[in-house]
Structure formats: structure tokens, C-alpha cells
Amino acid sequence: MKYDYDVIIIGSGPAGFSCAMQSSKFDKKTLVIEANEESFGGTWINSGTIPSKALRETARIIQRFQSQFDDLSQEKAYQHHQMQELLKYKNETLKSKNSKVENDFKKNEVDTVRGFGVLKEKNTVEVTSKDGEKTEYTAEYIFVAPGSNPLKPKGFDLDHNKVMDYTSVLNLTHIPRKLLVIGSGVHALEYATTFSNLGSRVSILNEAESFLPFLDNEISEQLFKLLEKQKIEIFSNAENIEIDTNSIRNTTEVRYNLRNDNEGNRTRVIETEHVLYLGGKIPNTKGLGLENIGVEMDDGGNIIVDNDYKTNIDNVFAGGDAIGFPALASASFSEGRLASCNMFGIKALDVPPEIPFAIYSIPEISSIGLTEKEAKARGYDVTVGRAYYKNITQGDISNQQDGLLKLVFETENLKLVGIHIIGERASDLIHLGQAVMSLGGDVRYFINHVLNYPTYSEAYRIAAFNGMNRVYKAGVKYKKILKNKE
């Protein structure tokens, strides 16, 4: 072999991990370089996806248990639990995920090396160990998956105690009585509802004009009602945010102005105990030597790739957060695997471009395809079908009556163009609709097939009937609706 390896992978997050596993299954000699001395798995396992979901799961279990019993419903988690106790579950999950990744590498003969990788030439990566020792490795292909880091705020500093980001929040020693989340994205909603369910009084300071504007309108409406129920306030259009400690009152004081303030740009103040800053992420593409070999990046530092996850340099591929949107673990797994398929000339099956997304708030939100508004703007004649969780037996049984599943489908042929869900299990439920959608099915699937009962999937059946009845009311004979095969 001309090179030490067939492929060198920089980073062991979901993109690097899946590229390594797929390459090893193709019998390719694979090396993973990981800068973190202790653990593999990147943001996915150590500071992002899994820890935030494990903490959320704990909050959800407490909330579900308390809401089941009237005498417990007004209790606050902080009256009974220490943060460390809640994080124990998270720590155990991380440990088991970490050793799973390490074992998968070993079992599949993927070599690993700890240290910081820098591209020296298009086939050469130099790794600097923590002792400063430098070693060079060569490969036919390079896969760059260095992930991302939290964006630093403008106008104030993080002390990682009173003012935290998504990494330091995992070191909290107690459940805050009051928490201000600064952010306008999915992160902000997830952590806000997690802490609210732990009993914290939570507010969100949103620098944008609207909050999660990409959601379907009716899902947003439901969400805002639920946030009101949880007493989570959102202050939008915030700018010039500054943070100080008020030592007399022993609080953290957040001052800000409103953009386009019609009260004369007065300074507003929120007093809180802790601040959690969730202002987005930046790709870890600085210092990687990408410029040494002329890899193209956009203004935000994201690596530019084509549909095969190939950069402008023939043998260099990239994936995960370093290539920008959607910057999800779910998508990163797929990107790493597809990059490997493309490197080694084994074209993967074409997968539909639609990917679902999930927001792990309490309750969850998940969507795929077009919102009703987007579908109409694109000229589709669409009808919608709705199922409210209060009408689903499983919702009643589980005491989870808040939620909505909404189907958006073409009136003419009943084909699904979008599915939008807010409520318990939304992130799992979406996949039934996704499968029907990607196999070209229509809403009749949900009534022609027997679905387990009671389950949350019943929502699909109820929403399908609801939508079809709407088509019927608009003048199409029921016989035609049921028989129509395009």
C-alpha cells in the first residue's frame, strides 16, 4: 500500500464514527484521530445530544410521576433532589456510550490515536499528542469531522458558574430556583422546558424577532400555550445584553434593550439566579490546516462539500457540524457513512432528501416535509388532518393530553407532503409518517392498516379520518376518496 491507511478520520463524533464503521465494513484500513484524551464521541456523547437528553429524561420522569398524583403535582423537584443525583443517570449513560464506541472501534479493527490532527498535505495528517510529540500519518482519503463548539457571546462573559453554556450547565451542583435562558433556537427551548419541569422559574431572552419561526403555525400555537402553562416567558427582540452580579441582592442581573423600542430605548432588567447562554455553535475548522491544502470554506468557517460530501480537494471529504446546516447528530451519522460509500465507489441507495427534525422539549416537537403555509406558497392544493392528544386513548391513559399531530396532504391524490407533531413521543412517532411519505404513500395507509391500540400512533388514524372527512365535506364522494388510486 502506498499510504499508511485507506482513510484517516479527524474527529470521533457521529460523523467520524459512522465514516469509520462503514469504511471498516468495506475492509478499508482506517485510522480515527481524536483530540479528546479521555473520551470518544465528541459533542454527541460528551456535551450535547446525549447528556442533554439524559437530563431531560430525568426531568420528564419526575414531571410524569408528579402529574399523576394530585398531592404531588405542586411539588418542586429541587425540594427533593440534588442536581448531582439527577446527573448520575447522565454520567452512567455517557460512560456506557463511551465504552460502546471504543469497543466498536476495537471489534472492527479501526485504529485510533489521541491528539490534535492537522492537515499538512492532501494525503498527510500530523498529530500532536498532549506531550507535544508529533507523528505523521498518510492515507488515500481524509474525512474531516471536527464538529463545533459553543459560540462566545458578545457583550458579556461566561464564568461557567452563574453564566453558563451547554457544556458548563452539566456541572451545576443544584437546581436553580430561577434560570434565564438566552437563545432563540432549539437548544433554548429544550433546556428551558427541562429546567421548568425540574421546578425552576424559567424565562427566555430571545435576540431574534420570533421564536422557532420554521415551525408549522399550529404547532407554534400549541407550543406557546404549553409554555404559558409552564409559566415560561419569552422576551423577544433583545439587544445590547449585559450581565452583572448584584452582590447586595446576591442575584445575577441581566440588562438589555429592545430592538425598535417604542418606549424610547429604555434599559430593561431581569433578575435571575443563573443564566444559560445558548447562542449557537461555530465549526471547529480553524487551525486544522485546511487552508494549507486549499479546502474551500464559507464565511462562517463551514467546509463546503458537494452532494457526495467531497470538498474541492479530490480525496478530502467532510461531514457533521463542520459542514453547517442541519448540524444534527442524526444527519451526521448519515453524512459520515455516505462519505465513506462515495470514497470507495460503493454508491449508497438514494435516500429521499427529506429529513425529519426533533426538538426534545417537554413535550417534544417533530416535523418532516412542508408546513401547511409552505405547501400553499408552493402552489399545492392541500388539506390538513388533525388529531389532538386529548382524543387519543394512549394520551388519556398516560395522562399526556397536550399535543397535536397534523397531516398536510394533497387534496387531489391524498399524498402526504408534511407531518407536524407536538406531544409525547413526537420524535419517534414521526418515523411512521416518514416511511409512508418516502414510499410515496398517502393518508389512506393509516386507515387501511390495523395499528396497535392503544398507542400514540392512533393519532395518525384519527388525523387521516379528520383530513379525509374534510375532503368529503368539500364535495368529494367518500367512495371516490377511498377508491382513488391516482
Ligand X SMILES: NC(=O)c1ccc[n+]([C@@H]2O[C@H](COP(=O)([O-])OP(=O)(O)OC[C@H]3O[C@@H](n4cnc5c(N)ncnc54)[C@H](O)[C@@H]3O)[C@@H](O)[C@H]2O)c1
Ligand Y SMILES: Cc1cc2nc3c(=O)[nH]c(=O)nc-3n(C[C@H](O)[C@H](O)[C@H](O)COP(=O)(O)OP(=O)(O)OC[C@H]3O[C@@H](n4cnc5c(N)ncnc54)[C@H](O)[C@@H]3O)c2cc1C
Interaction site with ligand X (CB under 6 A)? 183-188, 190, 208, 212-214, 278, 280-281, 326-328, 357-360
Asked if residue 48 binds ligand Y (CB under 6 A), the reply is yes
- DSSP-assigned letter for residue 169: G
Judged by CB under 6 A, does residue 12 bind ligand Y?
Answer: yes
CB nearer to ligand Y: give 204 or 329: 329
Residue 185 or 454 having the CB closest to ligand X: 185
44 binds ligand Y (CB under 6 A): yes
Identify what 153 binds: ligand Y, ligand X, none; CB under 5 to 8 Å per kind: none
Number of residues that bind ligand Y (CB under 6 A): 37
Q: Select 94 or 471, whichever has its Cβ closest to ligand Y.
A: 94
Element (H, E) at 426: helix 426-438
Task: Give helix 217-229 / helix 186-197 axis angle, nearest 10°.
Answer: 30
Widest CA span of the chain, in angstroms? 76
Supply the minimum distance, in Å, between the C-beta of residue 63 and ligand Y: 18
Instruction: Compute the least distance from the CB of residue 222 to ligand Y, in Å.
Output: 20
Binding status of residue 9 toward ligand Y by CB under 6 A: no
Is 327 a binding residue for ligand Y by CB under 6 A? The answer is: yes
Which partner in ligand X, ligand Y, none is near 454 (CB below 5 to 8 A by kind)?
Answer: none
| Shortest Cβ 123–ligand X spacing (Å) | 31
Strand duo 148-150 + 357-359: pairing = unpaired
Give min distance, CB of 184 to ligand X, in A.
5
The C-alpha cell at 326 is: 442541519
Distance CA 59, CA 173 (A): 15
Q: Does 117 bind ligand Y (CB under 6 A)?
A: yes
Residue pair 267/155 in contact (Cβ under 8 Å)? The answer is no
Query: Which residue, 27 or 298, is less far from ligand Y as judged by CB?
Result: 298
In the complex, the smallest distance separating the C-beta of residue 92 from ligand Y, rounded to whole angstroms, is: 18
The answer to the question of residue 14 lying near ligand Y (CB under 6 A) is yes
Cα 307 to its chain centre, rounded Å, is 22
Pick the closer one to ligand Y by CB: 35 or 62. 35
Cell 428551558, located at residue: 192
Among the listed residues 2, 39, 1, the one whose alpha carbon sits nearest the alpha carbon of residue 17:
39
Determine which residue in the list 5, 116, 141, 456 makes contact with ligand Y, applying CB under 6 A: 116
User: With CB cut-offs between 5 and 8 Å by kind, which of ligand Y, ligand X, none does residue 181 bind?
Assistant: none
Rounded Cα gap, residues 318 and 306, in angstroms: 10
H runs (alpha helix) in 26-119: 42-46, 49-68, 83-107
- Residues in the chain, how many? 486
CB nearer ligand X, residue 132 or residue 300: 300
Nearer to ligand X, 330 or 484 (CB): 330
Q: In this chain, which of 55, 297, 329, 404 binds ligand Y, going by CB under 6 A?
A: 329
Q: Which residues pair with 128 in a beta bridge?
A: 116, 134
| 42 neighbors 12 (Cβ within 8 angstroms) | yes
**Which residues, other chains included, contact 478 with Cβ-Cβ below 8 Å and sequence gap of 6+?**
468, 472
Site for ligand Y in 265-324 (CB under 6 A): 284, 288, 320-322
Query: What does the DSSP 8-state code read for residue 244?
Result: E
Cell of 282: 461555530
| Separation between Cα atoms, residue 253 and residue 18, nearest integer Å | 44
- Is residue 241 involved in binding ligand Y (CB under 6 A)? no
